Structure 1
């Protein structure tokens, strides 16, 4: 008999196939008395070293499959295993209670996870799951936990309570048609992976997994439905929808090489957002006209110390050369808020999203900023690089940036290092930048509207808080009015204007943005052709 559950879609599409349950590895922990505490501690450290080795392998695998941004979590897990407070807690429990390493690790994991979960800071609360993940890994190594995971032998719908980053990376992606989980959020690793893989996914689905293995399922990523044992007419209907969807994807591929031009002759640039050098392949495969946002902070997230000028120069130079003269817009580091880096030694903040982050760090720590700017200007000689600055709120900030750039150019001239002048732009992601947009446009060459943070700051909704997803409406009239106001004032002040936030890929708004006069849309590589299709099916002469 057909059963239907509802959930929150994190990526649209339709999947039809057998259901496969993701089984967590069995890792039952028993409290056992031991006689030799030092031998048990040695056993714990051996398991911890093995866990770090596994995490290193997972990092390398993730780097190839899902990019540097999504792989960084495994480096964070390795650092957590090296945390002295964590290690001392495990050792102390073994020595004082005379118990086995499995129990000591599990207890420490529970204690630290609870501590993180009770913190005020949203980012730190998010580390609770990480602590549990690494503790479970060490316990599993200690007790030789049996194999679990995704055991499908044919493409299937993966169903789970939730998936940790380490679990998603180990999946055979060719066998996953869709994700359906009870937990998770739109910013979870599972959701990010689904978007990267272009497969439908639902979160928050309250299903009963008993007896689901091997049964036929349908995932509707448009309407948020998970259907089990569909009736014949329902199955037929979804097979037709799936065929239409597949045909549409095939037709999208035919758009490669075609211009982004409306029916009435209005042309617009469609660029791609990337997080690492390895993402360039996706940019070229999906025929983006350039890179509208290279998130340079991932060079910092992937290091144990500040990346050197040479390391940054090589990365930026590689991107510029590979894009062969196409525009590459590189955003200076946007560290802070939900992107914390230990070696920056940032103080704990009660409200980090509105704290010491992005350009504020650069202007207060000019030595870090100048190193990045030197690398960027040196790399500019090898391609078409533009530089963009995040979290701007005033004209004064832009003028300070220009003074630092002047110093950098003077140094490069003195050292006889070649460079080219770069277009300079700012992210418009604060209401302050919106209302100062006409004045700011006179100082820069372009704007790129960051709709994710702009929505957060305009609606006073923390973008990392899953409980606020129903309130954080990026289609809110206030947000759309700010976008229109920014485009109008940017043009008035002589700057071109693009959109690089998630909203830029929302094809239900493509015509709206075109009518507002936007010059460029920068989206994830997988959305380039869909946005091109929406542009080519728009006629701005209608309804004028």
Structure 2
């Protein structure tokens, strides 16, 4: 038996034979071309075909893993339209009189090294994306047909790394787990694996891994271990662990329709985070009490134009109707930082996480903001909608937002369009907002604590920088003190407070949050049942 260790992307136990995923080596040869205009047209035809493929991949990914996981294929479409990329290909074709394949290969190599040498972890990830889109164009130019059939039986997929497009095209019924030699926990492939609920390990350092094809293996996503040719004792222990995990998941389903109430009678709401209407099935299946975070920016990310009032209205109305009276909290546009939309024409920033983003854009480009508010208010007539505003740092911002909301209401009144007076809340995700939360609480109906950004800003750590993972501590006493302060200030003002960041799903802190009297936790749908179990087994009075 051989044992390897790596980083866990998603837990669980998988037992089966290994299927090694080998990328086809594209041997690109340089040819002299007489008619460079014709060659440029040939490239553009291949590029357009690649974009069409990516659109189909996006639709497939939305159906299988939701809009969050599918967003990368829109990023890839935008990268293929990037003028720097296109200018490089055209320049090589024109100045060197060479074939499109060679120009694409050189451009891909140059851009890969540029991105790979960057300090920012998010930008480093784009290096793999450049390779992925370029290989897609090369495949089309060469007339090859992609073949993603690895095996006829369910297997553990082992690869040096996997591009998002390779991941989503695999036959999910044949994938037991993912194991890659390289990769990052922040990569889009890792995000897809988590969304697909498939055990996955990355950074499993090994040599000659291609020789492991066909061997029996076990992936232990709980410990980050890969066993090759396991001995009988290990095999039996892992089978037992796998069965225990399956039984636990089945038992959790017995909690359907049960209250989120502790032994001593303290109640808390368990809501779901979603990115699009496509996530509603998972919300209902996991018995969420409502939606605590609808990331409305994905309506913008999935389009090549500003979504119209009607387009937004239909989406918000659908969610409100489907949730049948349960609360739906829609976060207004949170574009900027790592969520870029080409048609917004945002300038490149040295430090985008602290730059022009979220409510700052909305208060600057009020027509975009008012369009969204009109759609939200109109949809409120069809259910129980609430709205919250991200990245608030001052009382002045809150007052300005409320003034704009009142303007929109007057417009709707004049047009005789129905709406409800919905709850308005703000996200507390900066130290500044936390410190003045007693003042802010006087002007809003609720707080939602965004622990991802609150941790990043409080500890001065880029949460996407893999070099800083050991320093990124969401359990840091400063974070917990901020949460306690925010909760106390909210309750003193008579408003409720929730948590919608990753920390909400951290069961090791559930008792702490109950002790702080947090009113609501909003998490990915699959975490609802485990948290409900934890809550129902807790006696706050004895903590």
- Shorter-chain TM range is over 0.9
Q: d(CA) in 2 for partners of 1:124 and 1:18?
A: 35
Q: Deviations over 1:106-139 (max 9, x none)?
A: 0111223333444566554443322221111111
Aligned counterpart, 1:137: 136
| 1:525 Cα deviation from its structure 2 partner | 0.8
Aligned counterpart, 1:312: 312
Aligned counterpart, 2:522: 522
2:194 equivalent to 1:199: no
Aligned partners of 2:164 and 2:192 also within 8 Å: no
2:8 equivalent to 1:13: no
What pairs up with 1:390-401 in 2 under 5 angstroms? 390-401=390-401
Aligned counterpart, 1:28: 27
| 1:152 Cα deviation from its structure 2 partner | 2.2
Aligned counterpart, 2:270: 270
Secondary structure of 1:316's aligned partner: helix
Q: d(CA) in 2 for partners of 1:254 and 1:34?
A: 68
Secondary structure of 2:472's aligned partner: coil
Aligned partners of 2:64 and 2:196 also within 8 Å: no
Aligned counterpart, 2:510: 510
Runs of at least 5 residues in structure 1 that lack an aligned partner in the other structure: none
Aligned counterpart, 2:290: 290
What pairs up with 1:356-505 in 2 under 5 angstroms? 356-505=356-505
Q: d(CA) in 1 for partners of 2:35 and 2:444?
A: 68
Moved more, 152-161 or 120-129: 120-129
CA-based RMSD: 1.7
| 1:144 Cα deviation from its structure 2 partner | 3.5
Secondary structure of 1:254's aligned partner: helix
Q: d(CA) in 2 for partners of 1:401 and 1:506?
A: 32
Moved more, 458-467 or 67-76: 67-76
| 1:147 Cα deviation from its structure 2 partner | 4.7
Q: Deviations over 1:395-417 (max 9, x none)?
A: 22111111111111111111111
Moved more, 456-465 or 154-163: 154-163
Aligned partners of 1:270 and 1:290 also within 8 Å: yes
Aligned counterpart, 1:3: 2
Q: d(CA) in 1 for partners of 2:193 and 2:119?
A: 29
Aligned counterpart, 2:153: 154
Aligned counterpart, 1:112: 111
Q: TM-score, normalised by structure 2?
A: 0.96
Aligned partners of 2:72 and 2:188 also within 8 Å: no
Aligned counterpart, 1:52: 51
| 1:9 Cα deviation from its structure 2 partner | 1.1
Runs of at least 5 residues in structure 2 that lack an aligned partner in the other structure: none
Moved more, 322-331 or 463-472: 463-472
Aligned partners of 2:275 and 2:295 also within 8 Å: yes
Aligned partners of 1:155 and 1:174 also within 8 Å: yes
Moved more, 400-409 or 75-84: 75-84
Secondary structure of 1:448's aligned partner: strand
2:34 equivalent to 1:69: no
Q: d(CA) in 2 for partners of 1:211 and 1:126?
A: 28
Q: Cα distance 1:143–1:308, how it changes in 2: closer, same or farther (>3 A)?
A: same
Q: d(CA) in 2 for partners of 1:66 and 1:84?
A: 30
Q: Deviations over 1:67-113 (max 9, x none)?
A: 22322322232233233443332233223223222111101112233
Q: Cα distance 1:301–1:482, how it changes in 2: closer, same or farther (>3 A)?
A: same
